[in-house]
Amino acid sequence: MKEFTPGDVVFTTAFPVQRADLAAYAEASGDHNPIHLDRAAAEAAGLPDVIAHGMFTMGLVSRAVVEWVAESGLEASLTDFSARFAKPVVVPAEGGTTVEIEAKVRKAEADSVELAITARSGGEKVLAPARATLTARS
């Protein structure tokens, strides 16, 4: 995948996030921690308001990657994917929030490309860059 150049931005996207999305994710994932659903529970845990599941945010990043792979027609599988949940994604009841995602090429090898992906919400970088490695299907 030497057609990719380290440092190049390969996609940017933004996803709105509402409380209802967190409720749907809690159901689908089985993670029913109330800090993702209920303001009082979030405050009791020392948080300013309800926060998204870290895995919901990572899931949105995976969606951005999967959509980009589909659009660009890459014949590749995601073989490695990591993230650190650096700051919470705070989701107010009114209006929700937005997660903005930007992916840059970190490394291009003959049969793989590694992306460094930032996610921002509420003016903060919420992930210490996520990394995704796509490997050509043999």
Partner 1 sequence: MLNASYVGRSLPTTDPVEITAESVARFAAALGLSGVPAASGAVPPTYLITLTLPAAERLVDDPDFGLDWSKVLHRDQRFAYHREVRPGTSVTCTSTIESIKTVAGNDLLSLRTDVADADGLVAESWTTLFVAAATDAAGEAA
The binding site for partner 1 (CB under 8 A) comprises 15, 21, 24-25, 27-31, 53-56, 58-60, 62-63, 65-67, 69-70, 75, 77-85, 137
Nearer to partner 1, 5 or 124 (CB): 124
CB of 70 to partner 1, least distance (A): 5
Which of these, 108, 134, 103, 76, lies nearest to 5 by C-alpha position? 108
CB of 41 to partner 1, least distance (A): 10
Nearer to partner 1, 3 or 75 (CB): 75
Q: Which residues make beta-bridge pairs with 127?
A: 85
The b-or-e profile of 87-104 (16+ CB within 10 A means b, else e) is bbbbbeeeebbebebbbb
Nearer to partner 1, 5 or 100 (CB): 100
Which phi and psi (to 5°) does residue 41 adopt?
A: -65, -40
